[in-house]
Amino acid sequence: MSLSSLPAAILSHMIAINNVPPPPLRSLPRLKMSKYIDYGQLNALCHIRGLQSSRSSYSILTAHNVFIKQYPKIFLQKTHRLPGLFKQEGKRKPTEDTVEEQQHDDQRDDSHNIAIHVKKARGGLTLYEPKRFEEEFVEFLDILKKLPIYRTLHEHKIVWKMLKTIPDLTCQLPDEHLKTLSKSVISETWVKGSTVVGNDGFYIILKGSARLQTKAYGNLIEEDESTASLIPQSFQGFVVSEGIKNFLLAEVQTHDPTLGQWSTFGTLEVAAQTESETKEYSVITEEDCEILKISAKNYARLKSEKIKLENKQKVKLIRKCPYYEEWPTLSIYELVALIKWKKFPPGHMIVESGKIISFVAYINSGYCNIYRNIVGLTKLEPKKAKKIKKLVCMGKLKEKESFGEISVLLQVPFTCTIITGKEVEMAIIEDKDLFVA
């Protein structure tokens, strides 16, 4: 701070004490308020008794000491702010749990949410009531209009959940296949009067209605023909709902059946069809329709990949069994074509001693106990004994071990009893398939 910015009383005191010449009047600028000075302390400093009077050196010295002691108080001290502490975030939870937690927290704090009270007053749904089916269906349609690559995991789950409510799908597809296919299904928009050919996939009408076209030939409507023959044979490969089948059998001679919402048509099997068949067996939309399509080619690719994966697992299993380590690959692949997977519960008797087993088994998981019938003597009374048979455990059949080859091929009875120790999954080859091969 320069001398020219000091108040007059302080300036005169410093001049008197230190014999400093006064600055020229023109150099004294207009004082500005500083944010670093406590003006209350400055005012008290200017009114110290003895600063303006020079009659006694004692009073000046006393005023000077008071001045020097209180002078630092006129400057405000800056408050130093400590940096914020870093808070480590916890592990990220799945999206579904996060959403449920947010909904739960919001539900606890909804007492101040005006929107909830307004909805309750008007008789509407609250924010936390379950969605109606109509709302879920609209959300389902919006998701299907997106390309599968742009859908989130939550949206894929919604599609899978809706597809599981369609009986014509669940009766044909296992849950794992349906879950995989749900990630690639799309929705197609068909305007009124469009022709939808159902030989390249499985179709589900989500909105609108359509007319299923069939053509009855002259040689199929004779009096001696059964009612079932009215349906052309190539159409019998199509998958339709049970209600549509019954309606078709009853009304095919008079007029074409109508397909409404959630009705299905088409096939999941890839079959070569002629151009005439493609034209004859088609669906014509009677109004604008939203139709979900499951491609038959995608399903065929899915089954092919599953078969390849299973075959690879079977080959690996047989390779690790002791007696097959040196087998050529082609011979193992011949066995793979005959293998079926089968599970047995704990305590199940696979084969009894003295009987011929009906299959060759390769243990994939679990284990089996091997028992032998041992004849022993038991004392009943003094000098009397009785023969009894008792099963004695002789060992175990563990994972990656096989049994039953000699009994099946040579038709020799087993000399021991095999009982599962816990749930066992086996790859088996039945004797009838082995002898045919």
Split at pLDDT 50, 70, 90, the class of 361 is very high
| Pair 362, 279 in one domain | no
Residue 346 banded pLDDT, cuts 50, 70, 90: very high
Among candidate residues 74, 92, 113, the one where a domain is terminated = 74
| pLDDT digit string, tens, across residues 257-292 | 788 888 888 888 876 555 555 555 578 999 999 999
Number of domains making up the chain: 3
Q: Are residues 173 and 280 in the same domain?
A: yes
On whether both 260 and 344 belong to a single domain, the answer is no
Beta bridge partners of 430: 359
Do residues 337 and 421 share a domain? yes
Q: Are residues 343 and 389 in the same domain?
A: yes
Q: What is the pLDDT of residue 87?
A: 54
Q: Give per-residue pLDDT as tens, 308-336.
A: 999 999 999 999 999 898 899 899 999 99
Q: Residue 434's pLDDT is what?
A: 84
Pick the more confident residue, 50 or 424: 424
The pLDDT of residue 223 is 37
Domain-located, residue 92: no
In this predicted structure, the answer to whether residue 197 has a pLDDT above a threshold of 70 is yes
Q: Say yes or no: 153 and 291 in one domain.
A: yes
Position with higher pLDDT, 110 vs 402: 402
CB atoms within 10 A of CB 74: 19
Which residue in the block uniquely carries the two structure tokens 């995991």? 153
Lowest-confidence region among 27-31, 47-51, 95-99, 169-173: 27-31
**In the chain, how many H helices and how many E strands?**
15, 16
Domain at 352, CATH number: 2.60.120.10
**Does residue 386 sit within a domain?**
yes
Query: Is the pLDDT reported for residue 374 higher than 70?
Result: yes
Q: Are 325 and 401 in contact (CB under 8 A)?
A: no
Looking at 28, 48, 74, which one is the last position of a domain? Answer: 74
Instruction: Evaluate whether residue 87 is within a structural domain.
Output: no
Q: What is the mean pLDDT of residues 347-370?
A: 94
Residue 196 within any structural domain of the chain: yes
**Is the predicted pLDDT of residue 104 greater than 70, yes or no?**
no
Lowest mean pLDDT among 60-69, 92-101, 111-120, 265-274: 92-101
In this structure, the answer to whether residues 151 and 242 fall within a common structural domain is yes
Reported as a pLDDT band with limits 50, 70 and 90, residue 113 is low
Q: What is the DSSP letter of 55?
A: S
Output b/e per residue, 245-260; b: 16+ Cβ within 10 A: eebbeeebeeebbebe
Is 307 inside any structural domain?
no
Q: Confidence band (pLDDT; 50, 70, 90) for 38? A: confident
**Which three-class secondary structure state does DSSP give residue 91?**
coil
Looking at 74, 100, 129, the residue that finishes a domain is 74
Same domain, residue pair 160 and 50 = no
Provide, rounded to the nearest whole percent, the portion of the chain with pLDDT above 70: 65
Ramachandran sector of residue 98 (left: φ over 0; alpha: ψ -120 to 50; beta: rest): alpha
Per-residue pLDDT at 273: 57
388's CB contacts (< 8 A; 6+ apart) are 375, 376, 377, 378
Whole-number pLDDT of residue 92: 55
| Crossing angle for the helix pair 329-336 and 296-320, to the nearest 10 degrees | 120
In whole angstroms, give the CA distance from residue 140 to residue 142: 5
What does the buried/exposed string (b/e) look like for 224-243 if buried means 16 or more CB atoms within 10 Å of the residue's CB?
A: eeeeeebbbeebeebbbbee
Share of the chain above pLDDT 90, in %: 36
The answer to whether residue 246 sits within a structural domain is yes
Averaged pLDDT, 43-72: 72
φ, ψ dihedrals at 202, nearest 5°: -105, 130
Structure tokens that stand for 326 in this block: 């040196």
Domain membership of residue 249 (yes or no) is yes
Q: Is the pLDDT of residue 155 over 60?
A: yes
For the chain, what is the mean pLDDT? Answer: 75
Q: Which residues contact 108 (CB under 8 A, 6 or more apart)?
A: none
Residue 303 lies in a domain: no
Q: pLDDT at position 158, please?
A: 92
- Give the residue numbers spanning the domain of 280: 137-296
Q: What is the mean pLDDT of residues 152-163?
A: 92
**Claim to verify: residue 278 and residue 159 sit in the same structural domain:** yes
Same domain assignment for residues 376 and 286? no
Q: Which pLDDT value is given to residue 199?
A: 83
Q: How confident is the model at residue 115 (pLDDT cuts 50, 70, 90)?
A: low
Helix, strand, coil shares, percent, the chain, to 5? 40, 20, 40
Pair 287, 337 in one domain = no
> What residue type is 389 in one-letter code?
K
144 and 290 fall within a common domain: yes
